[in-house]
Amino acid sequence: MQLSFLASAQYPFPTPATPDAQRNALTQVRSQVNWLQNATRTASNYGQQGYGNVWERFQIVRGAYGTFKQTLNPRQAADGANSFAELDGGLDILQEAFENYQTDLAAGRPAGAALRDMCQVLRDGSRLWLDELNKTCSRLRVGWH
C-alpha cells in the first residue's frame, strides 16, 4: 500500500481536480492520519524503531496532504488559501515534536519517556489538525458535485 502511494505521488501527470479525485485524496489523508495515530499508540513497544515508524507515518501524511491539495480547483485553492496555509503551518508545528524528542534525548531524558510525550503530542495534534482540515473541506465544498 505504501509503495502505491509513493508511486502515485510521483506520477508525472497532474492530479485531476474532480469531486471524485478530491474525495479519494481526502480519504487517503484521513486514512494516513489514522495510521499515524495507530503508530503513536504502539511506538513505545518498539523503542528507536517506534520513533522511525512514527516519523515515516508522519511523512506519509505530509505526502498525502500534498497530493490532496493538488486536487483542489482554482476557486477552492484561492478561497481556502489562508486555511491551507494554516494547515501547512500546523504540520510544521507537529513536526517540531520530533525535534523536541531529539533535544530531550540529548539532554539525557530517558528515551521511553521522551517517545511517549512525542507520541501524545502527535496523536492529539494530528486529531486537531484533521478536524481543521475537515472543517475547511466542508466550507469549501471539497468533493461535492
Q: pLDDT value at position 22?
A: 96
d(CA 93, CA 114): 17
Q: What is the pLDDT of residues 66-100, one digit of tens each?
A: 999 999 999 999 999 999 999 999 999 999 999 99
Residue 119's CB: how many other CB atoms inside 10 A? 23
Under CATH, to which class is 17-140 assigned? mainly alpha
User: Residue 39 contacts by C-beta under 8 Å, 6 or more apart in sequence?
Assistant: 50, 53, 54, 57
Q: Residue 107: its pLDDT value, please?
A: 98
pLDDT in tens, 101-136: 999 999 999 999 999 999 999 999 999 999 999 999
Residue 13 pLDDT grade (very low, low, confident, very high; cuts 50, 70, 90) = low
- Give yes or no for residue 64 having a pLDDT over 80: yes
Per-residue confidence (pLDDT) for residue 144, from 0 to 100:
86
